[in-house]
């Protein structure tokens, strides 16, 4: 099969799925809609596998396949073609997107079985997938941006899927507008890149990169990187633009799994990995990214500790984990960032789907204070959730351990890293362990607090199979990136597959001489913190009833801050949005109506006479009107000719 | 080849307007209007067929002496700059007529005759190559619009129509004076005779002094700019537009937003940029600044409008700000984007006014707060509205994105700070549109939706009205090359000869005026 045909198929399947379900959006046949949509994505996945196998067959240094579809914008020197590039980075991405995507589509069939508009839901989901593929396969910044805005659009539509609830519609709007702030910056970054390099094609930019990094904040590359990063903070929910992601949980839970955990929100990380060569030339921006990433990871984790909505906990956890990924790219750990992106896609998708299974069983209840003891009702959901839990808190040999450890190690050892950020990272790992254990305890373990009239039950197979597959992936997914220091002790010396795979495509920072003892020490320390925090949480929420409440009371001021998310939303409203609305109203009233129009009225007072005359013109006599019209024309013509 | 195409396209609508007015039966008026305007559209496709995209010269020229003493001619011609505006006009007119099918119940003859007469004046403006002829059409366009607002308008129609008239006339007076000055200046050219030909104006070398206002080029520049700025409209002379739109019937709003505003931006492109190169370059910052203020101001004020039509009207101020920003960026990207955005705005804002009109026809109310939950009551209507919304807020793969992107890129190369401010408009644009969408379409059912629930869905005729616009949204967004290639040569020519612009035409026609300069056939004028 020709490569180009494979590319076309990759995009066409989800697009056809979208059209099929989109055109019969009123249909309530969830089985048909779901089967078509899931098959579309699955076929896309098979095509992706085919393409990646082709790619593996190439020489490591020549692993790039590009196809040109058509010229899109071609003006002057500016060229943005509908062309696509499959290289080691996008290969990893399309496998995650279509693979995890297939599982989530499958899960959705059961989850949306009671919904009024399943066809519409699946249509949006397929459209999202199409755009996500555009995003990661585009061979230039503008095609990437098309996908970037496209996924944002689908996210808007899906968050507000149950639009009759005004809060959900508002959440969708908030997501789109917050993202737009980032997108505006993205565009400026793109312009700077074009102005600096005369092209926006990734391969061309990479071949034009200067050899010495810029210093200071005013260089064109630094500014370009800065603006693109601001774009990334919007899409990937980093400080200060993270506020939309927790609200985005208003959408159906599988959407949260697919868009707001596994794929779309990682687009910002992908962008920076894709431009890693450029970012290496802007060390100041890299430092900023690392700081923002670490702070986001830390603050989101502190909020996650006190949330009582199962999806909100997972949402803040996502923000926090994305923070880790930005910390990684900031310290030059591009490969570990992509590694964590992948493992996170597995275990966070797993936990979101697991929470979906729980919510489904609890009849749309999301408050973990009304759960507890669900273990015995939902064994499969519980078991897979445990795998996700162990993976995210980083217990070896589960996936999250390897990727998170790698990030922490780079933060510690990289010349672009810092010990303070490392400490922040380790503390965050401890908090992650705490709030995730709390979530497990309140949801699945301990005494049941389920209301009498709710009878939780295990979900149907179409929902548990994706959970099992993701559970397996969360377990073994990390084994493709086992660090040297561990593989030393393993039989057979398992190589760090991911590192070798990505090497030709991704920059990597040189760690220099490293001390293996340091690496093992760091690993041990963070393990100790994680296990300690987990045990503390287990003790507080399972073994000692009431201890958690005492703590809450003792730390009331802190607890309040965290529970209310540090009042950031309130601050944005009071400090930016409301003043803006007030300003707009006064602009309208004072400038338009009372100033400019006042001046005009002076002129129109002058013409009141005309006004009176004109009123008389309207007497309903058509011949008269016609006469006036022709008369007017003649008058104007004469006037002009005389002039 | 002797071509009458342009004159036919210009005057057939007027001819049929008069026919409808005097000979048609009241109930047949709309059928005639639809038939006639559609045939004009098909006729205008002949222009596309005959248009040569390989040249920047004026094509299909017709020239007859009109007032010989002053060198005034009936002189029309087309090039890459006017081409799409002409097609846009002939395309939107039948759509507008079909869109007014049931909305207009009284005085149908004069209503549809006005729309056709309107078409003539708009086409004339875009095709006139004689400054006086241009002025005549530019002014004559006011009359049918005045009638549309004054006779079929809302409760404050008198106020709105007078305001509209006075504003525009005010600007035009200065333009007229400027045209006369330029005509007098042409006597200094070779041959010594007075000429009103825009092509002769281009040959003038008008004295310019940079740091003062009182010099001929600067004064002429501002005289034209004022007329065109009012027409666009640009901040701060935009306040006639919201009133005119709110009071105008749907058809009036569609033509006003879709085509009439472009008379202003077209004027910048046809007259201001090439005629006054030094003044344009010197004062470009001011025009860009006002454009950016317009973008942000229009968006902010749109955000707080209680009336949905007024919201769309203020959004026009914002969108037309983008057009002006692009034009005065004075580079390929900006000007191409500006021209493209003119067409986009015609399509998307035209469609928005049609959509608002459709819902108003059912509920007779445009207050945003009285809606809510429309998405459930009228899903097909909602889908179309959403697509147009995405076009309006420039989501990629729609037409709006191409225009806005090119404009911002052009502006960025001209002035980074202003471009960054204009990029704020990207955020604000999404804000006012999506906020309105949320309040009108989502949430619980509003009182109007409850009252008219079963009548709200769009009907087949309305789908037929909107379908071509929806197709264009994607066509223009995915394959901009299909459209831009027609204008490429003309824009390149304008940008490459900024300081010394000239326009030629192949002298195929019989010129009756003996005082004309001999035009050299310069097809390869690059």
B526 occurs within a structural domain: no
pLDDT at B4: 84
- Chain B environment of A604 (Cβ under 8 Å): 162-163, 166
Q: Which positions 550-589 of A are in contact with B (Cβ < 8 Å)?
A: 580-581, 583-585, 587-588
Q: B104 Cβ partners below 8 Å, 6+ apart? A: B30, B111, B112, B152, B249, B251
Plot region of B443 (φ>0 → left; ψ -120 to 50 → alpha; else → beta): left
* pLDDT over threshold 70, residue A538: yes
* pLDDT over threshold 50, residue B516: no
- Chain B environment of A591 (Cβ under 8 Å): 236, 297
Query: Tokens in use for A3?
Result: 């490569």
Tens of pLDDT, residues B24-66: 888 888 899 999 999 999 999 989 888 888 888 888 888 888 8
- Chain A environment of B434 (Cβ under 8 Å): 156, 173, 176-177
Please indicate, yes or no, whether residues B265 and B337 belong to a single structural domain of this protein: no
Q: What is the mean pLDDT of residues A286-301?
A: 95
Tens of pLDDT, residues A231-263: 999 999 998 899 999 999 999 999 999 999 999
Tens of pLDDT, residues B143-190: 888 888 888 888 888 888 888 888 888 888 889 999 999 998 888 887
Please indicate, yes or no, whether residues B237 and B365 belong to a single structural domain of this protein: no
- How close is the nearest chain A Cα to the Cα of B212, in Å? 27
Peptide bond between residue B236 and the one before it cis (omega within 30 degrees of 0):
yes
Select from A75, A594, A595 the residue whose CB has the most chain B CBs within 10 Å, as the one to mutate to test that interface.
A75
Which residue has better confidence, A515 or B402? B402
CA distance A121 to A29: 12
Please indicate, yes or no, whether residues B232 and B359 belong to a single structural domain of this protein: no
Q: What is the mean pLDDT of residues B460-473?
A: 94
Contact B396 A146 (CB under 8 A): yes
Q: Decide: helix, strand or coil at residue B74.
A: strand
What's the first-to-final CA gap in chain A, in angstroms?
74
**B5 confidence band (pLDDT: 50, 70, 90):** confident
Mean pLDDT check: name the lowest of A33-42, A481-490, B114-123.
Answer: A481-490
Query: Tokens in use for A305?
Result: 């500790």
How many percent of chain B have pLDDT more than 90?
59
Plot region of B364 (φ>0 → left; ψ -120 to 50 → alpha; else → beta): left
CA distance B84 to A23: 32
**Angle between helix B416-441 and B399-414 (nearest 10):** 150
Q: B489 Cβ partners below 8 Å, 6+ apart? A: B53, B54, B55, B56, B80
Place of tokens 């992706």: A48
B280 occurs within a structural domain: no
Please indicate, yes or no, whether residues B195 and B310 belong to a single structural domain of this protein: no
CA distance B377 to A575: 37
Nearest partner of B389 among B331, B337, B349, judged by Cα: B349
**A629 confidence band (pLDDT: 50, 70, 90):** low
* pLDDT over threshold 80, residue B195: yes
Q: How many domains does chain B have?
A: 2
Tens of pLDDT, residues A25-44: 888 899 999 999 999 999 99
Domain of residue B496 covers 298-502
Question: E-assigned strands of B83-126?
Answer: none
Phi and psi, residue B256, nearest 5°: -60, -55
Please indicate, yes or no, whether residues B312 and B415 belong to a single structural domain of this protein: yes
Please indicate, yes or no, whether residues B85 and B227 belong to a single structural domain of this protein: yes
How many percent of chain B have pLDDT more than 70?
96
B282 occurs within a structural domain: no
**B509 confidence band (pLDDT: 50, 70, 90):** very low
Which residue has better confidence, A95 or A552? A95
- Chain B environment of A142 (Cβ under 8 Å): 405
Question: How do the domains of chain A map onto residue ranges?
Answer: 1-139, 140-563, 577-642
DSSP string, B303-354: HT-SBHHHHHHHHHHHHHHHHHHHHHH-SHHHHHHHHHHHHHHHHHHHHHHH
Please indicate, yes or no, whether residues B386 and B459 belong to a single structural domain of this protein: yes
Select from B434, B480, B483, B488 the residue whose CB has the most chain A CBs within 10 Å, as the one to mutate to test that interface.
B434
Contact B405 A73 (CB under 8 A): yes
- Chain A environment of B419 (Cβ under 8 Å): 188, 191
* pLDDT over threshold 70, residue A615: no
Tens of pLDDT, residues B335-353: 999 999 999 999 999 999 9
Mean pLDDT check: name the lowest of A397-401, A576-580, B310-314.
Answer: A576-580
Please indicate, yes or no, whether residues B261 and B366 belong to a single structural domain of this protein: no
Please indicate, yes or no, whether residues B201 and B309 belong to a single structural domain of this protein: no
- How close is the nearest chain A Cα to the Cα of B215, in Å? 23
User: B76 pairs with which residues across the strands?
Assistant: B62, B128
Peptide bond between residue B76 and the one before it cis (omega within 30 degrees of 0):
no
* pLDDT over threshold 80, residue A513: no
Query: Tokens in use for A622?
Result: 């058509």
Contact B304 A585 (CB under 8 A): yes
Please indicate, yes or no, whether residues B312 and B342 belong to a single structural domain of this protein: yes
Please indicate, yes or no, whether residues B169 and B65 belong to a single structural domain of this protein: yes
pLDDT at A212: 86
Q: What is the mean pLDDT of residues B199-205?
A: 89
Contact A636 B406 (CB under 8 A): no
> What ipTM, to 2 d.p.?
0.91
CA distance A27 to B469: 27
Residue of chain B minimizing CA distance to A153: B395
User: Smallest Cβ distance to A195: which of B240, B413, B443?
Assistant: B413
Phi and psi, residue B156, nearest 5°: -105, 35
Q: What is the mean pLDDT of residues A117-132?
A: 94
Contact A600 B240 (CB under 8 A): yes
Which residue has better confidence, A547 or A58? A58
CA distance A44 to B277: 55
Please indicate, yes or no, whether residues B199 and B332 belong to a single structural domain of this protein: no
Tens of pLDDT, residues B476-492: 999 999 999 999 999 99
- Chain A environment of B479 (Cβ under 8 Å): 70, 72
Q: Which positions 151-170 of A are in contact with B (Cβ < 8 Å)?
A: 153, 156, 160, 163-166, 169-170
Q: Which positions 588-627 of A are in contact with B (Cβ < 8 Å)?
A: 588, 591-592, 596-597, 600, 603-604, 607, 610-611, 614-615, 617-618, 620, 622, 625-626
B289 occurs within a structural domain: no
* Residue A369, number of CB atoms within 10 A of its CB: 10
DSSP H or E run through A613: helix A608-617
pLDDT at B522: 38
Nearest partner of A478 among A405, A383, A401, judged by Cα: A401
CA distance A321 to A339: 12
Contact A150 B240 (CB under 8 A): no
Phi and psi, residue A59, nearest 5°: -60, 140
Plot region of A620 (φ>0 → left; ψ -120 to 50 → alpha; else → beta): left
């Amino acid at each position: 099969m020709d490569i180009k045909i494979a590319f076309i198929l990759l995009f066409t399947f989800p697009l056809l799925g979208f059209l099929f379900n989109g055109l019969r959006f009123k249909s309530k046949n969830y089985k048909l809609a779901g089967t078509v949509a899931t098959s579309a994505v699955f076929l896309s996945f098979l095509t992706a596998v085919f393409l990646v196998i082709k790619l593996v067959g190439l020489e490591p240094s020549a692993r790039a396949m590009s196809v040109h579809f058509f010229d899109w914008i071609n003006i002057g020197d500016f060229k943005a073609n509908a062309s696509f590039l499959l290289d080691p980075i996008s290969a990893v991405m399309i496998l995650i997107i279509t693979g995890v995507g297939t599982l989530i589509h499958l899960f959705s069939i059961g989850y949306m079985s009671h919904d009024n508009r399943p066809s519409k839901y699946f249509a949006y989901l397929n459209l999202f997938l199409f755009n996500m593929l555009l995003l990661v396969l585009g061979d230039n910044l503008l095609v990437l941006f098309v996908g970037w805005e496209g996924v944002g659009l689908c996210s808007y539509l899906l968050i507000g899927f149950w639009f009759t609830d005004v809060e959900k519609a508002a959440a969708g709007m908030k997501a789109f507008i917050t993202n737009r702030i980032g997108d505006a910056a993205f565009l400026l970054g793109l312009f700077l890149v074009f102005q600096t390099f005369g092209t926006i094609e990734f391969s061309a930019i990479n071949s034009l990169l200067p050899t010495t990094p810029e210093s200071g904040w005013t260089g064109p590359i630094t500014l370009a990187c800065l603006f693109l990063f601001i774009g990334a903070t919007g899409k990937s929910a980093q400080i200060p633009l993270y506020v939309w992601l927790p609200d985005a949980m208003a959408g159906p839970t599988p959407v949260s799994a697919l868009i707001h955990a596994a794929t779309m929100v990682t687009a910002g990380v992908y962008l920076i990995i894709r431009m890693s060569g450029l970012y290496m030339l802007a060390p100041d921006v890299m430092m900023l990214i690392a700081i923002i990433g670490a702070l986001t990871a830390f603050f989101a984790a502190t909020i996650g500790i006190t949330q009582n909505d199962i999806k909100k906990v997972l949402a803040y956890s996502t923000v926090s984990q994305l923070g880790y990924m930005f910390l990684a790219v900031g310290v030059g750990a591009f490969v570990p960032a992509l590694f964590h992106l992948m493992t996170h896609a597995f275990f966070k998708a797993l936990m979101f789907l697991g929470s979906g299974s729980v919510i489904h069983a609890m009849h749309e209840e999301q408050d973990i204070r009304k759960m507890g003891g669900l273990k015995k009702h939902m064994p499969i959901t519980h078991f897979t959730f445990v795998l996700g839990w162990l993976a995210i808190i980083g217990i070896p040999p589960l996936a999250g351990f390897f990727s998170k450890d790698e990030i922490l190690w780079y933060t510690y050892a990289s010349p672009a890293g810092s010990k303070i950020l490392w400490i922040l990272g380790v503390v965050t790992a401890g908090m992650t362990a705490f709030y995730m254990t709390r979530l497990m305890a309140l949801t699945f373990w301990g005494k049941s607090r389920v209301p009498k009239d709710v009878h939780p039950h295990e979900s149907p197979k179409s929902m548990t199979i994706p959970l099992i597959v993701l559970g397996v992936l969360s377990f073994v997914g990390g084994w493709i990136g086992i660090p040297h220091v561990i593989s030393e002790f393993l039989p057979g010396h398992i190589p760090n597959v991911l590192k070798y795979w990505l090497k030709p495509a991704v920059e990597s920072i040189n760690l220099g001489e490293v001390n293996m003892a340091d690496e093992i020490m760091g690993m041990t320390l963070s393990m100790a913190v994680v296990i300690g925090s987990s045990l503390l949480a287990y003790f507080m929420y399972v073994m000692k009833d009431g201890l958690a409440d005492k703590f809450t009371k003792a730390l009331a001021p802190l607890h309040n801050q965290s529970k209310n998310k540090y009042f950031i939303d309130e601050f944005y409203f009071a400090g930016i949005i409301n003043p803006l609305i007030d300003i707009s109203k006064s602009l309208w009233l004072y400038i338009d109506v009372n100033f400019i129009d006042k001046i005009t009225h002076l002129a129109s007072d002058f013409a009141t006479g005309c006004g009176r005359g004109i009123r008389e013109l309207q007497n309903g006599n058509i011949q008269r009107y016609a006469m006036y019209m022709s008369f007017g024309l003649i008058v104007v013509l004469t006037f002009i000719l005389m002039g | 080849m002797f071509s009458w195409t342009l004159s036919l396209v210009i005057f057939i609508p007027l001819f049929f307007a008069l026919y409808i007015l005097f000979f048609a039966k009241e109930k047949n008026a709309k059928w005639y209007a639809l038939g006639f305007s559609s045939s004009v559209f098909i006729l205008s496709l002949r222009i596309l067929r005959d248009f040569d995209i390989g040249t920047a010269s004026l094509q299909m020229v017709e020239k007859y002496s009109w007032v010989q003493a002053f060198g005034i001619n009936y002189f029309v011609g087309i090039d890459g700059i006017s081409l799409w505006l002409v097609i846009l006009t002939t395309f939107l007119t039948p759509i507008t007529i079909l869109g007014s099918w049931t909305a207009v119940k009284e005085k149908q003859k004069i209503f549809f005759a006005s729309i056709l007469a309107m078409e003539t004046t708009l086409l004339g403006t875009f095709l006139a190559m004689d400054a006086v002829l241009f002025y005549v059409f530019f002014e004559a366009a006011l009359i049918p619009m005045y009638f549309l607002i004054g006779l079929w308008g809302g409760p404050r129609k008198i106020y709105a129509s007078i305001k509209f008239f006075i504003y525009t006339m005010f600007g035009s007076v200065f333009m007229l004076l400027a045209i006369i000055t330029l005509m007098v200046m042409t006597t200094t050219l070779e041959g010594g005779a007075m000429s009103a030909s825009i092509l002769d104006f281009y040959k003038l070398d008008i004295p310019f002094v940079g740091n003062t206002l009182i010099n001929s080029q600067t004064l002429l520049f501002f005289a034209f700019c004022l007329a065109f700025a009012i027409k666009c409209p640009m901040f701060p002379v935009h306040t006639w537009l919201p009133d005119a739109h709110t009071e105008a019937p749907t058809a009036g709003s569609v033509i006003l937003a879709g085509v009439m505003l472009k008379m202003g931006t077209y004027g910048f492109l046809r007259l201001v940029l090439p005629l006054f190169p030094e003044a344009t370059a010197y004062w470009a910052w001011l025009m860009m600044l006002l454009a950016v203020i317009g973008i942000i101001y229009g968006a902010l004020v749109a955000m707080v409008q209680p009336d949905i039509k007024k919201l769309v009207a203020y959004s026009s101020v914002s969108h037309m700000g983008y057009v002006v920003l692009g034009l005065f960026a004075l580079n390929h990207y900006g000007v191409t984007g500006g021209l493209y955005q003119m067409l986009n705005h015609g399509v998307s804002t035209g469609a928005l006014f049609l959509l608002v009109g459709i819902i108003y026809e059912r509920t007779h109310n445009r207050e945003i707060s009285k809606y809510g939950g429309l998405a459930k009551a009228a899903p097909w209507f909602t889908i179309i509205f959403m697509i147009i919304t995405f076009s309006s807020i420039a989501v990629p793969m729609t037409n709006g994105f191409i225009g806005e992107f090119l404009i911002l890129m052009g502006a960025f190369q001209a002035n980074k700070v202003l471009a960054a401010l204009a990029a704020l408009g990207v955020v604000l644009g999404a804000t006012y549109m999506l906020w309105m969408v949320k309040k009108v379409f989502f949430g619980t059912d509003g009182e109007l939706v409850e009252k008219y629930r079963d009548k709200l869905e769009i009907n087949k005729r309305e789908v037929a009205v909107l379908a071509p616009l929806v197709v264009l949204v994607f066509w223009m967004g995915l394959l901009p090359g299909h459209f831009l290639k027609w204008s490429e040569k003309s824009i390149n020519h304008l940008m490459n000869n900024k300081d010394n612009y000239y326009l030629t035409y192949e002298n195929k026609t019989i010129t009756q005026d003996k005082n004309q300069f001999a035009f050299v056939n310069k097809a390869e004028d690059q």
